[in-house]
Structure 1
């Protein structure tokens, strides 16, 4: 006789972290945009927002999405959360928080980081078109912001690209605040109160494609009902 084995599976339920992650992105870009627009000066007080909202909130949301097997949210929120850790450290080094090490630094390296993130963001944008219209618009603007930042850092038409970066970041923050609020209310009430817009439908997913997570219009509490 073969011994029978009983397998016990324990599931830990976790709430969807999307609203928190997008809110973190929205807040840090809103505060950073205030500096680019000339409403505030300096980056010293931007660092806490970069590390806690831009980074910690998004990385935590990414961690939860990994546990929930939400591939889209896990990768996107994680990638941009880590971006803000690096940006915050860049600002801290430039302000001398780590002593004279900043004297040996080349700030132009941040430009190439922006270009690298632009390339990856283009791939994310393709997926965002099949998420919802608001998040797709955010990704389009991110792909304006990042290369504009890079070019302005390198001194290429600095005034023009600095202004373009400022307005694109401001729009990202405003759309992000709307997106975070919409996801929160729609999820809480279980129906659409604030629409995010249905996917564009440019690319049809295969049978193995993931459709999980509140950012993806086909999944937000039965997406056909609440997008």
Structure 2
């Protein structure tokens, strides 16, 4: 037996039998997004309910999912879920830290820059969803629009833009919740109960 044959015989194939973490991440993102944008639409004030969701379900939950996606060799999922988990934590910090008295609250121009950067980041990820399914395209497409609407609202101070952003954000959150629950239901039933809109791959 040659050295190359010996090396080939020693290769161990690992079969990944762990669960799909994406639904958890989509639900953490979607449910927190809905609640925040109900606030943006003017239905209730920014309170501990939204901040708690941002820290735990939207924040820490998505970071955990991102790590799980990394272990499953999913670069897109690891990047997206970890980043949006940290987005929620930074957003909560931007709200809470100024209340300690030692840190200045961000002005409208700073928040505009913050939201535009997240909009650009999300727009690039949206391009990546062209190789996924329609449900993910709706989530990332509507999220890109949401970030730029929120940036426009902060830049102009126009309450109508913020209200429109809130309504669009509720739609974005619902689309993420649907995408997450659809994956769970389809896996449980072993067939497509809730369609995700599979995209035909070239070739």
> Normalised by the size of structure 2, how large is the TM-score?
0.87
Residue 66 in structure 1 maps to residue 67 in structure 2: no
- In the alignment, structure 1 segments of 5+ residues that lack a partner are 206-227
**For structure 2, which runs of at least 5 residues remain unmatched after alignment?**
none
| Mapping 1:90-109, distance limit 5 Å | 90-94=94-98, 96=99, 99-102=100-103, 104-108=104-108, 109=110
Q: Deviations over 1:177-227 (max 9, x none)?
A: 1111101111223221100102275xx59xxxxxxxxxxxxxxxxxxxxxx
Partner of 1:87: 91
Query: Quick check: 1:193 aligned with 2:193?
Result: yes
1:14 touches 1:64 (CA, 8 Å); kept in 2?
Answer: no
On the 8 A contact 1:35/1:43 being kept in 2, the answer is no
**Greater displacement, 15-24 / 186-195:** 186-195
Q: Does the CA contact (< 8 Å) of 2:36 and 2:50 recur in 1?
A: yes
TM-score between both structures, scaled by the size of structure 1: 0.78
**Higher mean displacement: 156-165 or 23-32:** 156-165
CA RMSD in angstroms, aligned pairs only: 2.4
| CA distance in structure 1 between the partners assigned to 2:146 and 2:12 by the alignment | 49
Q: Decide which structure has greater helix share.
A: 2
Q: Is the 8 A contact 1:25 1:173 kept in 2?
A: yes
In the TM superposition, residue 12 of structure 1 has moved relative to its aligned partner by 6.7
What is the count of residue pairs matched by the alignment? 198
Q: What is the SS of the residue equivalent to 1:101? A: coil
